Amino acid sequence: MKKDELDGKMSISGDLPNFLERVIKKKTTIGTLDKLCQYFYDQIEKHPFAKYIGTFDHYSHTAGIEGGIVEKTITAAKVVLFCFGKKLLDPKILSVRPRAIGLCETPTHYVISFLEVPNPSLTETMIKWVDNIDV
**1 assigned to some structural domain:** no
In a domain, 3, yes or no: no
pLDDT for res 83? 96
pLDDT tens figures, 44-94:
999 999 999 999 999 999 999 999 999 999 999 999 999 998 889 988 888
pLDDT at 95: 81
Alpha carbon dihedral 83, 27, 25, 46, in 10-degree steps, equals: -20
What domain count does the chain have? 1
CATH number at residue 23: 3.30.310.70
Inter-residue long-range contacts of 98-101, CB under 8 Å, 24+ positions, other chains counted: 98/53, 99/126, 101/40, 101/126
pLDDT for res 135: 59
Instruction: Give the 3-state secondary structure percentages of the chain, helix then strand then coil, rounded to 5.
Output: 30, 30, 40
Q: Is residue 8 part of a domain?
A: no
pTM: 0.86
Answer whether residue 11 shows pLDDT above 60.
Answer: no
Q: Are 42 and 24 in contact (CB under 8 A)?
A: no
pLDDT of residue 2: 41
Judged by average pLDDT, the poorest of 11-15, 56-60, 122-126 is 11-15
Summarised one tens digit per residue, pLDDT across range 80-118 is 999 998 889 988 888 888 999 999 999 999 999 999 887
Domain assignment of residue 42, yes or no: yes
**Confidence (pLDDT) at 19:** 94
> Alpha-carbon torsion 24, 29, 31, 32, what sign?
negative
7: in domain? no
DSSP string over 53-110: EEEEEHHHHHHTSTT----TT--EEEEEEEE-------GGGGGG-SEEEEEEE-SSEE
Higher pLDDT, 17 or 51: 51
Q: Residue 94 sits in which domain range?
A: 16-131
